[in-house]
């Protein structure tokens, strides 16, 4: 999904949620190139931790190899998991400072279940950045994008999550920041 990287800026997404040294971060649905996880790993440094989580096991070795080959190397823990299964990531509860869900929501069959797992993972002061396709004619855009209102409603179903605001993510995407209430 290298084309997605040209549509979205990892620098901008990380800036929206203030990725800083020492943080613990997960990119849920990281995709085949890990364009966001490598940038996040650079920002959190050796004291931090970055997880690349995807439902497709074949993409994870590619991301791990790319991290080792970078200069300096970016240590990334890869996890094969379906975010719609509560506890399925194996990441400890309340341990993540930031979670990214980029171009994932339009692929989910149960958005509230995915947000429940994110809620389980999120530290008390943590933030979730959900980025997905708006109404776009771009060839990579889904035929039926998920409007931000659906994500806000799903967050309400997860009683401890609240919408913290909308952020600009480029011409084809929207972003919603979620946090604990």
**Is 116 contained in some domain?**
no
For residue 47, the domain's CATH number is: 3.40.50.150
Residues of the chain with pLDDT > 90: what percent?
70
C-alpha distances in Å from residue 68, one per residue of 23, 30, 43, 77, 116: 20, 17, 16, 11, 32
Domain that holds residue 13: 2-109+122-156+176-180
pLDDT at 71 over 50: yes
What are the residues facing 93 on neighbouring strands?
A: none
Pairwise CA distance, residues 78 & 60, whole Å: 6
Overall number of domains in the chain: 1
Determine the average pLDDT of the residues in 153-169: 93
**Is 131 contained in some domain?**
yes
pLDDT tens, position by position, 170-180 = 899 999 999 99
Pairwise CA distance, residues 39 & 14, whole Å: 8
DSSP codes joined into one string, 49-77:
EEEEEES-GGGHHHHHHHHHHSSS----E
pLDDT at 21 over 80: yes
**Is 114 contained in some domain?**
no
**Is 170 contained in some domain?**
no
Give which of 97, 76, 87, 88 is closest to 31, Cα–Cα. 76
Pick the residue with more confidence: 138 or 23?
23
Determine the average pLDDT of the residues in 101-110: 94
Helix (H) or strand (E) holding 40: helix 35-44
**Is 34 contained in some domain?**
yes
pLDDT tens, position by position, 25-61 = 999 999 887 889 999 999 999 899 999 999 998 988 8
Pick the residue with more confidence: 31 or 73?
31
Average pLDDT, the chain: 90
Determine the average pLDDT of the residues in 12-17: 97
pLDDT at 134 over 60: yes
Exposure letters 15-27 (e unless 16+ CB within 10 A, then b): ebbebeeebbbbb
């Amino acid at each position: 999904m290298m084309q997605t990287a040209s549509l979205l800026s990892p620098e901008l997404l990380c800036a929206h949620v203030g990725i800083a040294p020492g943080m613990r971060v997960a990119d849920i649905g990281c995709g085949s190139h890990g364009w966001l996880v490598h940038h996040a790993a650079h920002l959190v440094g050796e004291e931090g931790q970055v997880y690349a989580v995807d439902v497709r096991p074949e993409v994870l070795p590619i991301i791990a190899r790319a991290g080792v080959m970078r200069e300096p190397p970016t240590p990334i823990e890869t996890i094969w998991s379906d975010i719609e299964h509560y506890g399925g990531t194996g990441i400890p509860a309340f341990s993540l400072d930031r979670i990214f869900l980029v171009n994932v929501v339009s692929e989910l069959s149960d958005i509230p279940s995915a947000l429940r797992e994110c809620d389980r993972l999120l530290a008390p002061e943590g933030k979730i950045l959900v980025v997905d396709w708006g109404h776009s004619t771009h060839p990579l855009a889904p035929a039926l994008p998920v409007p931000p209102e659906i994500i806000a409603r799903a967050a309400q179903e997860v009683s401890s999550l609240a919408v913290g605001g909308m952020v600009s993510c480029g011409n084809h995407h929207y972003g919603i920041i979620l946090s604990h209430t």
